[in-house]
Amino acid sequence: MLEIDNINSFYGKAHVLRDLSFSVPRGKVVALLGRNGAGKTTTMKSIMQLVRPETGRIQFGDHAIVGLPPHKVAKLGMGYVPEERRVFTDLTVAENLLVGRQPPREGAVTWTEEMLFELFPNLAERRNNRGKALSGGEQQMLTIARTLMGNPSFVLLDEPSEGVAPVIVEQMAKVIQQLKSEGLTVLLSEQNLHFAQAVADLAVIIESGAQVFYGSLTELNAKPEIRDAYLAA
């Protein structure tokens, strides 16, 4: 579904991603792990073309996407949920969803506002509240719902558990499992290994912008030395 092939990305002058390669198979949830500064967010942004890789290829379905503007990548079915919940705080919940709306896409679920309110019941009662009136957890849900309005076949989730209460993280895990059961492919960047273990099929670990592990979570659990070196218990 998504093939990342030897990409190199820079942030300002800093060389963040170094010859990074990995793939995300269709219908799977892949966790992108690594410490802060390892390049997880830059990887997400490089896929979305918000940061343009200087070299390397990214193949998304039938399309090579390096060099496309971000909105074209989104139109191909790539959904992006940024870290730090960038909801439009002056817009209402319903208007936030409207920004994300895209025409139905073949082979992907066509989400409606009602379906999303079913998935995120807290948002339903907040429909006409402005984004800034929402709690951190509600904002996080809104960013996910907003992205789903674009009927993506693939979702990039950048650190959804960062800075939210454990209780919300548990809810988030359920949502990701449901997305998977709807046939979506998910790339999830995480620092919370427990959360990743609860939802992911495969794990990629990056360190200093390069891949150091790729495999199933069972394999990862069998290699405590890797876990200890690049993550932590």
Partner 1 sequence: MTVVLETKGLTKSFGGLVAVDDVSFQLHKGELLALIGPNGAGKSTCFNMLMGQLKPTAGEVFLQGENVTGLTPRRIWRKGVGRTFQITSTYASMTVIENVQMALLSHNGEVFRFLSFAHKRYREEAMALLDMVGMAEQAERHCAVLAYGDLKRMELAIALAHDPALLLMDEPTAGMAPKERVALMQLTSDIVADRGVSVLFTEHDMDVVFSHAHRIMVLNRGALIAEGTAADIRNSELVQEVYLGGGTLFSAEEDAHA
Partner 2 sequence: MELFVAQIITGLANASSLFLVACGLSLIFGVTRIVNFAHGSLYMLGAYIGYSLMQVLPGAFGFWGAILLAGIAVGLVGVLVEMLVLRPVYRAPELFQLVATFGVILVVQDLALIIWGPEDLLGPRAPGLRGVYRIMGEPIPKYDIVLLLITPFIALALWYLIARTRLGVLVRAATQDREMVGALGVNQAWLFTGVFALGSALAGLGGALQLPKGGADLLMDFNILAPVFVVVVIGGMGSLPGAYLAAIIISVLNVFGVTYLPQSTLVLMFVVMIVVLMIRPYGLFGREEVAGEHGQVGEPELPIKPASPNVRMIVAAGLIILALLPLYGSSFSQVLATDILIFCLFAASLHFLLGLGGLVSFGHAAYYGGGAYVAALLVTHADSPMELAFLLAPLGAGLAALAIGWVCLRLTGVYFAMLTLAFAQLLWSLVFQWGDVTGGDDGLVNLWPADWLNDTTVYFYFTLLFAVGGILMLRHVAHSPFGYALRAARDSQRQAESTGIDTRRVQLLAFGFAGLMGGLAGALFVFSKGSVFPNELEIARSFDALIVVFLGGVKTLAGGVVGGAFFKGVEDILTRFEYWRLVMGFLIIFVVILAPEGIAGSMRKLVRRLQSSKTGGSQ
Query: Which listed residue (16, 33, 48, 134) binds partner 2 by CB under 8 A?
Result: 48
- Please, are residues 36 and 10 in contact by the beta-carbon 8 Å criterion? no
80 forms part of the interface with partner 2 (CB under 8 A): yes
53 forms part of the interface with partner 2 (CB under 8 A): no
Query: Which listed residue (166, 178, 183, 218) binds partner 1 by CB under 8 A?
Result: 166
221 forms part of the interface with partner 2 (CB under 8 A): no
Q: Cβ of residue 154: shortest distance to partner 1, in angstroms? A: 25
User: Residue 137 or 150: which CB sits closer to partner 2?
Assistant: 150
136 forms part of the interface with partner 1 (CB under 8 A): yes
225 forms part of the interface with partner 1 (CB under 8 A): no
**What whole-number distance in Å separates Cα of residue 123 and Cα of residue 88?**
15
What SS3 string covers 73-133? HHHCCEEEECCCCCCCCCCEHHHHHHHHCCCCCCCCCCCCHHHHHHHCHHHHCCCCCEHHH
86 forms part of the interface with partner 2 (CB under 8 A): yes
Place of tokens 């193949």: 59
Phi-psi region of 195 (alpha: psi -120 to 50; beta: other; left: phi over 0): alpha
Count of residues binding partner 2 (CB under 8 A)?
Answer: 25
Q: Which two tokens stand for residue 212?
A: 């150091």
Query: Which listed residue (25, 37, 69, 224) binds partner 2 by CB under 8 A?
Result: 69
Site for partner 1 in 85-114 (CB under 8 A): none
Quick note: the x/- pattern for partner 1 over 192-211, rule CB under 8 A, is xxxx--x-------------
- Please, are residues 91 and 185 in contact by the beta-carbon 8 Å criterion? no
- For residue 81, count other CB atoms closer than 10 A to its CB: 23
67 forms part of the interface with partner 2 (CB under 8 A): no
Residues 6+ apart with CB under 8 A from 132: 89, 90
DSSP track, 20-55: EEEEE-TT-EEEEE--TTSSHHHHHHHHHTSS--SE
Q: Cβ of residue 170: shortest distance to partner 2, in angstroms? A: 26
Query: Which listed residue (7, 16, 24, 34) binds partner 1 by CB under 8 A?
Result: 34
Q: Which does 231 bind (CB under 5 to 8 A by kind): partner 2, partner 1, none?
A: partner 1
Stretch touching partner 1 by CB under 8 A, among 29-37, 87-95, 98-106, 110-118: 29-37
The widest CA-to-CA distance across the chain, in whole angstroms, is 50
Residues that bind partner 1 (CB under 8 A): 12-14, 34-38, 135-137, 161-170, 173, 191-195, 198, 231-233
